[in-house]
Structure 1
Amino acid sequence: MLLSVLTGCVKVELVATVTADDTVEGSLTAAVKREAVEVIGAEPADEFVAALTEDVPGTYEERDYDDGEFLGRTVYYRDVSLGRFSRSDPDDTDSATLRISHDGDRYRLDGEWRLPDLDGTDFVPTMDDSTLEGAEFTVSVTFPGKVLEHNGSLSGRTVTWRLEPGRTNVMTAESAEAAPVDVALIVLLAGIGVVLVVAVLLYLRLRRYSIGNRPRPRPGRVTVAGR
């Protein structure tokens, strides 16, 4: 009920990065528009934010969120296995599922999120249409390797979906594993770095040795020209 009331006045942003060791890290932001907080009160807004951000697996940090338009909270999570990340809330399986799997040399994402209609006029009649239509629901997932298929917006290895209220949003994506050449390049660069460090240390040592063994001038009389 609370989500239906606040739809159109909220921001929900899920950011996830799938690592090469099959864990997920990222953040989840839930926030309510300032205008909505003023109309419905701080307590219902806090309840909405808490319902989404409490008990997020792998949470290691929480921060207040304020971008000047929305107020809420961001939680940061890490080291969440693909299985745990993909486990849906058993009380909410009809409205939201998001699963990421690793099979062979492919990563696969499948998700369906059902968002309620943007209809808050009965509860917040003082809000104009632009405020009610300002809801932001986004899901961004960065994959370890090249993205091969997707039905969102692609930027590099990150696929972003902007979910629309009032319909079931279907999300799909498939990516390759991290390219072996990337790993080889990292190893190569690390090796070059070690060689350079050793070369510099060897140069400095030889330089100190040559300076310390340079022949010193023998003492003697100084002859002045013309005398």
Structure 2
Amino acid sequence: MLGLLTRRVLVAAAALGLLFATSGCLRIDLGLEVRPDDTVGGEFTAAWSDEFMAHASDQGLDQAQLEAFLDALLDGVPGTERTPYAEGGYTGATATFTDRPLSEFAEFGGDDWGYLRIQHTGREYDLESHWDLRAAGFLDPAQFAGAEILLSVDFPARVTEHNGTLEGRTVTWTMTPGEEYDLNATAVANNGIAFLIAGVAFVLVVCALLWLWQWRRLRRYSIGNPSA
């Protein structure tokens, strides 16, 4: 899907002839949720900055052209639900998809721009990704200077390693055209058997302490009252 996405970015930009320098005008946001049943849901957002929209006519662009560009980006994203997006000074649309097998993300991408791999082995979830946004044909930094490309992944386990920004169990990476990025993250699920054993051991220790406290209390009472 990411390989398809990057190709759609190129096709959409070329088809609409958006050959102008625009700083921070575009936000592309892909959010994935990895679930315990090894399925993946997510949202893909494409939006223009409100500041750019206010001056788009100065570039000879009208509202229909801008909406057509976003439609071209969103076209083909799995799922059919599409909702308006307005957040952080950006306005556009979000396409939502659900219940994609995690296996689809084991070998994801692999084109000239990069790849994303998410694998689940035992208790461990591993993400490895590489994006070369300097590659010819992607969003030209001269045309889309400061365009914001976000990738966030919500793991079903505690994140133990990452090189992005962590909030709870979600790791987010922010990228821009003209740069190269290596992304990685590891999440580890709790060992259910070990947790159960630890819980049982805790209960036994508490019971033993209560029994010892009660025994000492009875013994002290018996010594202090020999006639009892």
Identity rate of aligned residues, in percent?
34
1:102, distance to aligned residue in structure 2 (A): 1.0
CA distance in 1, matches of 2:140, 2:23: 7
SS at match of 1:20: coil
Retained in 2: the 8 A contact 1:7–1:117?
no
CA distance in 1, matches of 2:35, 2:190: 9
Residue 199 (structure 2) aligns with: none
CA distance in 2, matches of 1:138, 1:83: 22
TM-score of the pair, normalised by structure 2 = 0.63
1:97, distance to aligned residue in structure 2 (A): 1.8
Question: 1:148-197 CA deviation, whole Å, 9 max, x = no partner?
Answer: 2111111221111111321122111111135538x97xxxxxxxxxxxxx
SS at match of 2:36: coil
CA distance in 2, matches of 1:77, 1:9: 25
Are positions 1:64 and 2:80 aligned together?
A: no
CA distance in 1, matches of 2:37, 2:132: 30
TM-score of the pair, normalised by structure 1 = 0.63
1:15, distance to aligned residue in structure 2 (A): 1.2
Question: How many residues get paired?
Answer: 169
Q: CA RMSD in A?
A: 2.9
- The equivalent position to 2:142 in structure 1, one of 119, 130, 134, is 119
Retained in 1: the 8 A contact 2:158–2:188?
yes
1:178–1:117 CA distance, 2 compared to 1 (3 A): farther
- The equivalent position to 1:102 in structure 2, one of 116, 120, 130, is 120
CA distance in 2, matches of 1:44, 1:54: 15
SS at match of 1:84: helix
Q: Based on CA coordinates, which of the two structures has the bigger radius of gyration?
A: 1
Name the amino acid aligned to 1:164: T
1:107–1:136 CA distance, 2 compared to 1 (3 A): same
1:12, distance to aligned residue in structure 2 (A): 1.0
1:51–1:97 CA distance, 2 compared to 1 (3 A): farther
Residue 78 (structure 1) aligns with: 98
CA distance in 2, matches of 1:87, 1:50: 26
CA distance in 2, matches of 1:7, 1:52: 19
Are positions 1:165 and 2:177 aligned together?
A: yes
1:114, distance to aligned residue in structure 2 (A): 3.0
Retained in 2: the 8 A contact 1:60–1:78?
no
Q: What 5-or-longer segments of structure 2 have no aligned partner? A: 1-9, 134-138, 197-228
1:85, distance to aligned residue in structure 2 (A): 4.0
1:23–1:66 CA distance, 2 compared to 1 (3 A): same
Retained in 2: the 8 A contact 1:144–1:178?
no
Name the amino acid aligned to 1:157: R
CA distance in 2, matches of 1:89, 1:7: 27
CA distance in 1, matches of 2:132, 2:63: 26
Question: 1:34-93 CA deviation, whole Å, 9 max, x = no partner?
Answer: 425433333443343223322222x15211223373222101111111122455467xx1
